[in-house]
Structure 1
Amino acid sequence: MSFKFENLIIWQNSMDLGEDMNLLANSFPREEIYNLSSQLRRASDSVALNISEGSILQSGPEYRKFLGYSIRSLAEVVTCLHKAKRRNYISEIKFNNQYKKCFNLMNMIIAFRKKIK
Structure 2
Amino acid sequence: ARGRLSPATAEPPPLGPSASAWRSCYERRLRDAMDAAARAANARRPGRLRFELRPHGALSAAYAAADLVAVPSRRPEAFGRVVVEALAAGRLCATFHHGAASEVGAAVLRAAVE
Fold-level match, TM-score > 0.5?
A: no
TM-score w.r.t. the length of structure 1 is 0.25
Q: Report the TM-score, using the length of structure 2 for normalisation.
A: 0.25
Larger radius of gyration: 2
Which gives a bigger RCO, structure 1 or 2 (Cα 8 Å, sep 6+)?
1
Give the helix-richer structure, 1 or 2.
1
Structure 1 or 2: larger strand share? Answer: 2
